[in-house]
């Protein structure tokens, strides 16, 4: 029997893993559950991802790209003269108002790095990339503090089911950002 050429199979497996975690959490993730979701043979999942950690790394990397794509699409963090607090608060609001399952999934995978060392570099990569982008507008220490605040606000919204308060987020971020020297 000839092998079927399926160049998109690896990506379909990653997408299926994201859907499984979105519905069942990390506890529901297995090669078998992903194979069923992707409609591929079980051997395909283990061929492309020997371990579940490898599959979670790919899923987290893809989930991280969603926030990066939102930043790129808005473009507000790339130009000079950006009101950093307002742009970050607005961007966070847009992200949290989007697909809630996707945001929850990203944080579930992000926090899984606490127990799964293989995920730590990917989780750190997200924070480092955002801090590097913010460092174009402020010093590196402030950029890292803003990333930490953003994480904290997002986690509070996700864990408490409270509405995101953009005005509060903007005000708190503005407190962290040093005032520009007078002209």
Is residue 57 within 8 A of residue 107, CB to CB? The reply is no
| pTM (2 d.p.) | 0.80
Is residue 124 within 8 A of residue 57, CB to CB? The reply is no
- Alpha-carbon span 109 to 59, nearest angstrom: 8
The pLDDT tens digits for 108-146 are: 888 888 888 988 898 888 889 889 989 988 999 999 999
Is residue 88 within 8 A of residue 142, CB to CB? The reply is no
The pLDDT tens digits for 36-64 are: 999 999 999 999 999 999 998 898 888 87
Is residue 119 within 8 A of residue 112, CB to CB? The reply is yes
The helix-helix angle for 100-112 and 140-160 (nearest 10°) equals: 120
Q: What is the mean pLDDT of residues 98-102?
A: 74
Q: Looking at the domain 60-176, which fold is it?
A: Tetracycline Repressor; domain 2 (1.10.357)
Q: Looking at the domain 8-50, which fold is it?
A: Arc Repressor Mutant, subunit A (1.10.10)
What proportion of the chain, given as a percentage, has pLDDT over 90? 47
The pLDDT tens digits for 15-25 are: 999 889 888 88
- pLDDT at res. 122: 86
Q: How many CB atoms lie within 10 A of CB 34?
A: 30
- pLDDT at res. 5: 66
| Structural domain spans, the chain | 8-50, 60-176
């Amino acid at each position: 029997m000839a092998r079927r050429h399926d160049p998109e199979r690896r990506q379909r497996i990653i997408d299926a893993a994201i859907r499984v975690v979105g519905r069942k959490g990390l506890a529901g993730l297995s090669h078998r559950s992903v194979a069923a979701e992707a409609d591929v043979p079980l051997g395909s999942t283990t061929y492309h991802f020997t371990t579940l950690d490898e599959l979670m790394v790919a899923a987290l990397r893809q989930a991280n790209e969603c926030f990066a794509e939102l930043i790129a699409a808005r473009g507000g963090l790339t130009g000079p003269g950006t009101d950093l607090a307002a742009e970050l608060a607005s961007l966070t609001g847009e992200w949290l108002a989007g697909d809630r399952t996707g945001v929850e999934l990203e944080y579930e995978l992000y926090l899984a790095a606490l127990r799964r060392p293989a995920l730590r570099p990917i989780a750190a990569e997200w924070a480092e990339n955002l801090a590097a982008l913010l460092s174009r507008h402020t010093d590196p220490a402030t950029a890292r503090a803003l990333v930490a605040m953003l994480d904290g606000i997002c986690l509070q919204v996700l864990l408490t089911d409270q509405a995101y308060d953009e005005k509060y987020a903007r005000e708190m971020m503005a407190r962290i950002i040093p005032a520009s020297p007078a002209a």
